[in-house]
Amino acid sequence: MTAQIIDGKAFAATVRAKVATHVARLKEENNLTPGLAVVLVGEDPASQVYVRSKGKQTIEAGMKSVEHRLDPDTTEDALLTLIKQLNDDATIHGILVQLPLPAHLDEDLVINAIDPAKDVDGFHISNVGLLGTGQKSMVPCTPLGCLMMLRDHHGSLSGLDAVVIGRSNIVGKPMAQLLLGDSCTVTIAHSRTKDLPDVVRRADIVVAAVGRPQMVPGDWIKPGATVIDVGINRIDAEGGKTRLVGDVDYESCAAVAGAITPVPGGVGPMTIACLLANTVTACCRANGLAEPK
């Protein structure tokens, strides 16, 4: 069997096009422009690339994009003051603080200072609680993008066995909540899981969010299963170059799976598209307007 490739790049383009249509309507009918503020502390190269890309795509969708680039030694007080300003700014509907923060800053404190209604990353404790109890929340972008691709591929996910490898607050746990919300039978695996290959072999859906290059081989995959690879790992390649790989071994998994997301071009593009969609949702909610479907 050769797996169907789930084209996250193309899917993300359709999500962004829908976002742009909604933004144009908000401007025309309500004189509103959704605004996204991204805060970057320090000079982490990967974070700089993500922030640039987020800003570019925000503008391409017709939205307002604001970037705050702060020195690596920015104090917690200065960062919290900026967040308060953005919370109070009616032209800003989404606030994203790029993680990881430098070690001297308390990530939980900073994230929980964001107005939950503007927390387009969905990491604020209120949004985590709302998601966990099945209430309307801001949903973290990466798991949301994975869920959209899974729903698109399967239609209903009800009753499917899903294994999420990884239990981070930003990917693994919210992914598991979303799959549970769609009535999957969910297992969360992590570094202490016993017999991980056997656990993964039971799954109709495998979501790998580990941060270990090509860790999941094809012989862990149940024939026909759907594999969603969240991992983004840069490894050495021939000729002194580097290349991006996921957390699954693409070749061997694609030979067994029914469907698989590639890296790059799978989950990554969907994450930013969902960030834009969340910002439009936040703008609509803030103004008592119907949310995009």
167 is annotated as contributing to ligand binding: yes
> Residue 59 is which amino acid?
I
Crossing angle of helices 141-154 and 172-181, in 10° steps, is 40
With CB under 6 A as the contact rule, the residue among 184, 267, 277, 283 that binds ligand NDP is 267
Residue 271 as a binder of ligand NDP (CB under 6 A): the answer is: yes
In eight-state DSSP terms, residue 281 is: H
In whole angstroms, what is the distance from residue 51 CA to residue 54 CA? 5
Q: Which of 57, 98, 177, 214 is catalytic?
A: 98
Binding segment toward ligand NDP, per CB under 6 A, in 55-63, 67-75, 190-198, 276-284:
190-198
In whole angstroms, what is the distance from residue 231 CA to residue 263 CA? 8
232 is annotated as contributing to ligand binding: yes
Cis peptide before 217 (omega within 30 of 0): no
Expressed in angstroms, the distance from the first to the final Cα of the chain is 35
Residue 214 as a binder of ligand NDP (CB under 6 A): the answer is: no
Residue 257 as a binder of ligand NDP (CB under 6 A): the answer is: no
The vertex-198 CA angle with 195 and 200, nearest 5°, equals: 110
In whole angstroms, what is the distance from residue 165 CA to residue 85 CA? 38
Residue 12 as a binder of ligand NDP (CB under 6 A): the answer is: no
> Residue 66 is which amino acid?
V
Per-residue contact string for residues 89-128; x = within reach of ligand NDP by CB under 6 A: ----------------------------------------
- Closer to ligand NDP by CB, 172 or 218: give it: 172
Using CB under 6 A, count the residues that bind ligand NDP.
26
In whole angstroms, what is the distance from residue 146 CA to residue 175 CA? 8
168 is annotated as contributing to ligand binding: yes
Tell me the closest approach of the beta carbon of residue 50 to ligand NDP, in angstroms: 8
Verify whether residue 98 is a known catalytic residue. yes
- Closer to ligand NDP by CB, 187 or 193: give it: 193
| Burial per residue of 181-206, b for 16 or more beta-carbon CB atoms within 10 angstroms, e otherwise | ebebebbbbeeeeeebeebbbebbbb
Structure tokens at 111: 């994230």
Residues that bind ligand NDP (CB under 6 A): 142, 165-168, 170-172, 189-193, 196, 209-212, 230-233, 247, 267-268, 271
Residue list, annotated binding site for NADP(+): 166-168, 232
Q: Which residues are catalytic?
A: 54, 98, 121
